[in-house]
Structures are given as structure tokens and as C-alpha cells.
């Protein structure tokens, strides 16, 4: 079972460049999330999608956009990357919004120079 | 918004000892308290969770206790083993149906 798959695993960008992180889950989950993880700050929610067709801002949405392409896929886009967006990004999914187990991908390490 | 504090940030124990990690939260409406384990290079994985209608839950060497009056909950690992070495995160759901994570505890179990 693949679970939650994120691509790419590593990416280096220059300031101002754009990129999209892809996420797909094969567990038929309704809800999907994007988190960023920075040293000493735990996991912070960027955006989430409670169900197909809906997206909402999390704790730190500035500089990001998301698309819930279908039930399986939830992408995160950086339109104009900044050094402050250097982080490890995790996609997660769950059957329902925030009341059960989150299943995480293995992360995407992004460096913005 | 919800404030979740997690202590300690690092914890070193000898194999076989017990480890305790504590989290405090601020939103009295919170009713779901999971703990996640993150191994190096991996995503976090749920190890145990507790809901506000119970005070304690055990799963083999892992237990979680909840004190809703004091707004804190703790992870207890007994008979620690080197494979328990990882970063552990607590989390709390908020009244706005979002999960807020603690800042993590790096546990090192020495043989």
C-alpha cells in the first residue's frame, strides 16, 4: 500500500521561482492537509481540504496556494519562493477532518536560496 | 488560538528506563489528543490517542494520561528500547476543528 505519496522529495529553488508540490493518497480519505516543519516549531498547518471541492487556510497560509484536484490529489503551490519558505513540507490525509488519525507522507525538503 | 506547549524538548534515558513527555493546552473545548512518533527522514506516525471521555489509555509499553481540569496530557513509555529513539509530537484539536501540534521532544534511548 502506497498510502500518501509526495513529490518531489527534494527541491532547490532560487528566490522568486515558482513550484508545485504534489500529493496523492490511495486510502479514499475525505480530508487532506499540508504542513510545514521547521526546527523548534513543530508542525504548522498551511492549508487543508475537508472534502473534495473545498479548501481552507490554516495557521501559516501566506505565500502558498492549494488545489484539491480530485479526492486523491492535493497540491501546494509556491508562486514566488522566498528563503523563509525553506522547510520540510508534509502532506497528510484522514477519513474525517481532524478527529482521527492523520496519515503523513514522507516529506518534501525545499531549500530556497 | 490554541496554544500547545510540550516539554521537555530533549530527553535522554538509558535502555529499560521510563520516559515521560508532557503537553499543556489552552482550549477547554479540545476533546482529541493524539501522539505522533517521527523517525529520522520519515513522516510522523500516530502511536496512541485519547479522547476527553477517558483519563488514561494503554497500548503495551505506551500509555497516555489526560487531566482535563488542569489541561494537560502526558505520554508514558515504559521499558524503553533503542528503537524508541525518535521525535515525539503531541497534538490537540481546537474548537475550529484544526489539529495544533506541540514543538516536539527528541527522545534518545542509549543501550
Testing the interface with A: which of B87, B93, B99, B102 to mutate, by most A Cβ within 10 A?
Answer: B99
A99, closest residue in chain B (CA to CA): B32
The reply to whether residue A101 touches residue B49, judged by beta carbons under 8 angstroms, is: yes
Q: Tell me the C-alpha to C-alpha distance, in Å, between residue A39 and each of A65, A93, B31, B48, B104.
A: 23, 23, 27, 23, 9
Q: Tell me the C-alpha to C-alpha distance, in Å, between residue B39 and each of A12, A106, B73, B102, B109.
A: 23, 10, 22, 16, 13
pLDDT, position A40? 81
**Which residues in chain A have their CB less than 8 angstroms from residue B44's CB?**
43, 90, 102, 104
- Out of A42, A44, A102, the one facing B46 most closely (by C-beta) is A102
The pLDDT mean for chain A works out to 93
In this prediction, residues A40-58 reach a mean pLDDT of 91
Residue of A17, A28, A19, A3 whose CA lies nearest to A109: A19
* A65-84 residue pLDDT tens: 999 989 999 999 999 999 99
pLDDT, position B44? 96
DSSP 8-state assignment for residue A52: T
pLDDT, position B53? 76
Averaged over successive runs of 10 residues, the pLDDT of chain B (111 residues) comes to: 90 98 92 94 95 88 95 97 97 80 96 92
Q: Which three cell numbers stand for residue A67?
A: 488545489
Q: In chain B, what is the straight-line distance between the N-terminal and C-terminal CA atoms, in Å? A: 41
- pLDDT reading at A41 higher than 90: no
pLDDT, position B54? 78
A95 in Cβ contact with A102 (< 8 Å): no
3-class DSSP string for chain B: CCCCEEECCEEEEECCCCEEEEEECCCCCCCEEEEEEECCCCCCEEEEEEECCCCEEEECCEEEEEECCCCEEEEEECCCCHHHCEEEEEEEECCCCCEEECCCEEEEEEC
In this prediction, residues A38-55 reach a mean pLDDT of 91
Residue of A97, A87, A30, A95 whose CA lies nearest to A63: A87
How many CA atoms lie within 13 Å of B48's alpha carbon, on the beta-carbon side?
Answer: 18
Q: Is A75 helix (H, G, I), strand (E, B) or coil?
A: strand
Amino acid at each position: 500500500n502506497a498510502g500518501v505519496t509526495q513529490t518531489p522529495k527534494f527541491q532547490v529553488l532560487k528566490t522568486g521561482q515558482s513550484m508545485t508540490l504534489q500529493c496523492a493518497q490511495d486510502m479514499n480519505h475525505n480530508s487532506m492537509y499540508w504542513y510545514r516543519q521547521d526546527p523548534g516549531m513543530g508542525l504548522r498547518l498551511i492549508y487543508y481540504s475537508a472534502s473534495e471541492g473545498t479548501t481552507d487556510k490554516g495557521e501559516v497560509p501566506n505565500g502558498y496556494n492549494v488545489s484539491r484536484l480530485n479526492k486523491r490529489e492535493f497540491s501546494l503551490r509556491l508562486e514566488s519562493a522566498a528563503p523563509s519558505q525553506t522547510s520540510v513540507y508534509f502532506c497528510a490525509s484522514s477519513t474525517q477532518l481532524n478527529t482521527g488519525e492523520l496519515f503523513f507522507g514522507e516529506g518534501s525538503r525545499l531549500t530556497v536560496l | 488560538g490554541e496554544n500547545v506547549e510540550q516539554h521537555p524538548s530533549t530527553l535522554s534515558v538509558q535502555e529499560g528506563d521510563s520516559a515521560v513527555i508532557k503537553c499543556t493546552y489552552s482550549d477547554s473545548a479540545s476533546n482529541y489528543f493524539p501522539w505522533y512518533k517521527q523517525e529520522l527522514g520519515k513522516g510522523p506516525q500516530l502511536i496512541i490517542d485519547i479522547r476527553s471521555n477517558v483519563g488514561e489509555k494503554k497500548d503495551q509499553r505506551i500509555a497516555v494520561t489526560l487531566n482535563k481540569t488542569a489541561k494537560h496530557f502526558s505520554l508514558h513509555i515504559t521499558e524503553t528500547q533503542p528503537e524508541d529513539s525518535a521525535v515525539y509530537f503531541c497534538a490537540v484539536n481546537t474548537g475550529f476543528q484544526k489539529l495544533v501540534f506541540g514543538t516536539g521532544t527528541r527522545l534518545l534511548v542509549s543501550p
